[in-house]
Amino acid sequence: MARGLHLIRMGHACTHEHFPGPEKEHPVIAVIAVIAIVAAILLIAWARLEVHGSDDLQEALVEPFAPAATVPVEDAAAPRPDNKLPVEREVESAVTSSRFATGFSP
C-alpha cells in the first residue's frame, strides 16, 4: 500500500491514528508564501487603479457622510407579506445556499 494512503472500512470511524498530520513546513517557505500574498494584493490594487482610475475613490473620501437618522421610521419601507408556497421557499433556500457555497453570492 502507498505511504500515507489508508483505506478505512465501511462503518468504521476515521481517527487521528489513520491520518497522522501534515509534515512540518520550513520557515523560509512560510515567509515566501506571505511575501507572495502581499505581492498579489498589491498587484490587484495596482490593476484596479490602472483599469478604473482613482476618481471614484477620491469622490468617496471627499463627500460627507449622511447622518444615520435621516429617514423617519414611518416612511421606511414596509415588509412585504410572505405569499410563497413552502416548496418555493425550499427551492429559494437551496439556490441561495448553493450560490454562497460556490462563491457566486451577490
pLDDT tens per residue, range 43-84: 999 998 888 888 877 787 777 766 655 555 555 566 677 777
Distances (CA, A) of 21 to 18, 31, 56, 69: 9, 21, 48, 53
The answer to the question of residue 60 being in a domain is yes
The answer to the question of residue 93 being in a domain is no
Q: 106: which residues sit within 8 A by CB, 6+ positions away?
A: 99
The answer to the question of residue 55 being in a domain is yes
C-alpha cell recorded at residue 89: 421557499
Query: Would the pLDDT of 36 be above 50?
Result: yes
The answer to the question of residue 16 being in a domain is no
The answer to the question of residue 53 being in a domain is yes
- Split at pLDDT 50, 70, 90, the class of 25 is confident
Identify residue 29 by its one-letter amino acid code: I
The answer to the question of residue 41 being in a domain is yes
Note the pLDDT of residue 38: 96
The answer to the question of residue 8 being in a domain is no
Domains contained in the chain, number = 1
Give residue 34's domain range: 24-64
The answer to the question of residue 84 being in a domain is no
Distances (CA, A) of 72 to 53, 69, 76, 77, 83: 37, 7, 7, 10, 27
The rounded distance, in Å, linking the Cα atoms of 56 and 48 is 12
